[in-house]
Homo-oligomer: A and B are copies of this chain.
Amino acid sequence: MAMIANSNILLGHGSGGRLSQDLFTGLFARYFHNPVLDQRTDSAVLQLSGKHLAFTTDAYVVNPIFFPGASIGSLAICGTVNDLAVAGAVPLYISSAFILEEGLPYSDLEKITADMAEKAREAQVTIVAGDTKVVTKGACDKIFITTSGIGLLKPEHIPISTGQNIEIGDKILINGPIANHGMAILSKRYNLQLQTDVVSDCAPLNHLIAAVLQAGCEVHFMRDATRGGLATVLCECVEKKPFGMFIDEALIPVDDDVRYLCEMFGFDPFYMANEGKVVLVVKRAHAEQVLAVMQQNPLGRHSTIIGEITENPVGKVGLQTLIGGKRLLEMLAGDPLPRIC
């Protein structure tokens, strides 16, 4: 696990998969360790004068900066909103730091800014702080954006981010088809001439999630399936836990054109990034109600139950494959598509 002192940073260290975990454990957790960071949740849960806050940050380096369905701007808002929402928090405030390459067309920056404003309105969050740095031409690729977010957390939702209440029998849900974002980026990056555009699923999920929580359903864990894809989120959910998970591949929605593209390029949709998909682990008895609530939301119309928490395989994800076999689902190792978000 420990990195060798004379090694170099690899693309995989930013993949959101195994190497990202190694870098966190071997370096950041070692130097920065504190009770909050050590929870290793997507959003930090903070107590401030008796109130509970969620606090999160993400850097966006997606290439290309414009792609079907979204841009780096929409991504920078939705990604941070979703990180707060899956912690059970109500996203409120966003900060945004821009790193711009000298010579970036002003019109590109304006389009990106407009996308950010639109998604912030949609998510009902306020962009309250910002910073802009410009680097000489060639010192960065067009534009990078880092957003941070603050959300308010009800005490009863605090256990969601660590998943400490997950129990055997819990049902696992997802709000729609996977791999659309990854394939939208791929099709734009390589200028594929497709009959129909594959469109990114980039969207703020906070209203969908709020509807589930407000319905009084018992949610034990949530995570948005971004870098590393659905497989990585599922693996993280049970890793080092005294229980496992079983997923039925036939129940996982994948759009036909996305599946076709994945097969053509040899990508597994399980590992492709999403930007508008949330995985929920909910109390078995509440699963059907959660499903019904989700399906009423435009962003959850294609929600399905894809599996459940099981006794075995302990700490692992078992998969019933499409062709009738069974195998373990592994976390992402390398990085199939760098700069996906």
Contacts and interface: CB of A to CB of B under 8 A. Distances in A.
Interface of A: 3-15, 20, 23-24, 27-28, 31-32, 34, 36-37, 43-44, 46, 48-49, 51, 53, 55-61, 63, 92-93, 95-107, 109-110, 113-114, 116-117, 120, 126-136, 138-141, 144, 146, 148, 150, 152, 335, 338-339
A233 to B, nearest CB: 16
A23 to B, nearest CB: 6
A48 B24 CA distance: 31
A339 B56 CA distance: 26
A12 to B, nearest CB: 8
Given A37-B128, A100-B14, A148 B95 contact: yes
Given A128-B34, A338-B135, A61 B99 contact: yes
B110 A37 contact: no
Nearest to A39: B128
Nearest to A3: B106
Contacts of A44: 93, 95, 128-129
A36 B126 contact: yes
A167 to B, nearest CB: 28
Contacts of A126: 34, 36-37
5 contacts: A8-B104, A34-B127, A57-B131, A59-B97, A148-B148
Contact of A338 (B131, B134, B339): B134
Contact of A27 (B34, B55, B110, B339): B110
A129 B37 contact: yes
Given A10-B102, A134-B9, A55 B128 contact: yes
A102 to B, nearest CB: 5
Contacts of A96: 57
Contacts of A60: 133
B146 A55 contact: no
Contact of A59 (B10, B56, B131): B131
A146 to B, nearest CB: 4
A275 to B, nearest CB: 14
